[in-house]
Structure 1
Amino acid sequence: MPDVLVLVDHDGEHVHKTTYELLTAARRLGEPAAVVVGTPGTAARLEASLARHGARSVYAAESAEVDEFLGTPAVDALERAAGEASPAAVLVSATTDGKEVAGRLAARLDTGLLIDAVDVDSSRVVTQVVFGGSYTVRSQVTHGMPVITLRPGSFEAEECPVRAEVKELALPPAAPTSCARVTARRGAIAGDRPELTEAAVVVSGGRGVGGAEGFSVVEDLADALGGAVGASRAAVDAGYYPHQYQVGQTGKSVSPQLYIALGISGAIQHLAGMQTSRTIVAVNKDPEAPILDLADYGVVGDLFAVAPELTRQVAARRAAD
């Protein structure tokens, strides 16, 4: 079977859950081959977990300078791995960085690009949600092998233990004058909460939260459920919560097992980023709010009464267990 290249998302010590989802999807198309881009020694630390999830090959694209440049090392690594493996496809997580890498790679390889897929079958036909979530389409490239970005949460990560072969992949020298350089990094403020795009549970607040202080209700429920906190564009634009937690067409796309929307009306922009969630619960005082039409469970009521009670009930059940 042909190789399927998977770009590994990691923090240098641990593989992100989205990569395991990509490896699971890759097995539908061929033999998963993980591409690790990092500083020297990174691939060795990640090899065991990648092999446990089905990566038969691990390409180690390592350099002491790799963290100094934005996107380019990953594009270089995938281009060189594609030259060696002649893969059936390349899979990248549909994050902001992943979409940039995928687009640049497709341009370099002069091949087809499929963005924001939520499913892929053995014939390399992908399912996408397009036009702000208004339509579901099936797409296939007509030129070259596909470069596919897969929306986080679209696949359940499944273990498939194999023996991995590590292959060294030399990166070309960086060209500082033509590459975007990272000059500073800001730490996330999520604390112990899971990363938004990887969380099994997401609790989001909207304009109905009323202000930055109102987000404590959202955070309390998220913490009780062991989930991540999100925000609608309206809440972010109003300054209630930082932009990095925005869920929607111009924010992050999420597909958790459970999505709880507190005080979110359900504008198309927001629905486009969360409508593929497995179960959706909405709390809104407006019975005509569009999000109630999408929700699996809707509560018409004051979120400041409903959410704290739900938090107490969840905490009580966890304590009883």
Structure 2
Amino acid sequence: MTILVIAEHDNGSIKAGTLNTMAAAQKIGGDIHVLVAGHNAEAAADSAAKVAGVAKVLLADAPQLAQGLAENIEATVLTIAKNYSHIFAPATAYGKNIAPRIAAKLDVAQISEITAVVSADTFERPIYAGNAIATVQSHDAIKVITVRSTGFDPVAAEGGSASVETIEAAADAGISQFVSREVTKLDRPELTSANIIVSGGRGLGSGENYTKVLEPLADKLGAAMGASRAAVDAGYAPNDYQVGQTGKIVAPQLYIAVGISGAIQHLAGMKDSKVIVAINKDEEAPIFSVADYGLVGDLFETVPAMTAEI
């Protein structure tokens, strides 16, 4: 069997979530082909060819693919879909935009956000905000799957030597157009790929406190900064910082939750972190149920003291 992985990239390099997606695909076995659909994306294709375990890279290069418009990516995938038993995409905004369109056109049921591969036709995925794991079996001839990156360790970005084959891109669908993109520029690691995250909640009381209390700790640790939905809704932190079921799903080596009570929505986004440290004045806060280390106390005293000791 041959598996297609749709790569998320910036026309120059492969995004981290694609490496986790390839790890999931490798658990099935068989040859893995990677599709790089973009414009002037030769560098991204060369990067994909170096990934361990990749048999072939397919490069579809055309102006209508430059901005990753879902309709044009989908149409390009459909020209080659019949050659594959599985089509994988990362469960990011990019993958979630493309995969359902492909599944609908193929008239198959998409399997979303898998966290484990049981066999070639059976997968595990979280439901009920991660409180239960469903085992899903598919008998579709072509299985369209999105992969939750926190469920799989990434494959090595180096070590492969796959060939790069150019394929024809589908014509512009003409039903959408790229207008503009505003990209947040961060001086810190990107939230979904950071090894350490310092995250704040409603307990911080204000955006000023969020900055004053958390930034020094994050600076010393070289950490990304996150926030609960309550903190984002209150305007303490930008939307890009939100961790949770409706935000970003993360699984860093260390997650420090400051002033976060631990609503189920937030836990769904971070409970797979390797080590969780919770700081909260409420000893009954749900966050302590998933924490490896808990500190009950006033965050305005404990966090500066912790920062000073690092």
Same-fold call, TM > 0.5?
yes
Name 1:237's counterpart in structure 2.
233
Return the offset for 1:236: 0.8
Query: In angstroms, what is the RMSD of aligned CA positions?
Result: 1.9
Which ranges of structure 2 fall in alignment gaps of 5 or more residues? none
Conservation of the 8 A alpha-carbon contact between 1:112 and 1:144: no
1-structure distance, mates of 2:195, 2:63: 34
1-structure distance, mates of 2:155, 2:236: 37
Look up the SS of the partner of 1:185 in the other structure.
coil
The aligned length equals: 307
1:91 to 70, 78, 88: 88
Matched letter for residue 199 of structure 2: S
Larger CA deviation: 48-57 vs 10-19? 48-57
1:151 to 148, 164, 170: 148
Return the offset for 1:288: 0.7
- Shift >6 Å, 4+ stretches: none
Conservation of the 8 A alpha-carbon contact between 1:23 and 1:53: no
Look up the SS of the partner of 1:99 in the other structure.
helix
Conservation of the 8 A alpha-carbon contact between 1:58 and 1:165: yes
Look up the SS of the partner of 1:273 in the other structure.
helix
Name 2:59's counterpart in structure 1.
60
Q: Deviations over 1:182-207 (max 9, x none)?
A: 2111121422x222122222221111
1:293 to 265, 279, 289: 289
Name 2:37's counterpart in structure 1.
37
Look up the SS of the partner of 1:272 in the other structure.
helix
2:247 to 238, 244, 251: 251
Conservation of the 8 A alpha-carbon contact between 1:24 and 1:53: no
Look up the SS of the partner of 1:157 in the other structure.
coil
Name 2:196's counterpart in structure 1.
201
Return the offset for 1:213: 1.4
Return the offset for 1:68: 4.4
Name 1:271's counterpart in structure 2.
267
Matched letter for residue 204 of structure 2: V
Return the offset for 1:45: 4.4
Q: TM-score, normalised by structure 2?
A: 0.91
Name 2:106's counterpart in structure 1.
109
Conservation of the 8 A alpha-carbon contact between 1:43 and 1:58: no
Matched letter for residue 110 of structure 1: D
Larger CA deviation: 64-73 vs 92-101? 64-73
Return the offset for 1:234: 0.4
Q: Percent identity?
A: 40
Structure 1 residues 223, 87: CA separation in 2 closer, same or farther (over 3 Å shift)? farther
Matched letter for residue 295 of structure 1: A
Return the offset for 1:151: 1.2
Return the offset for 1:31: 1.9
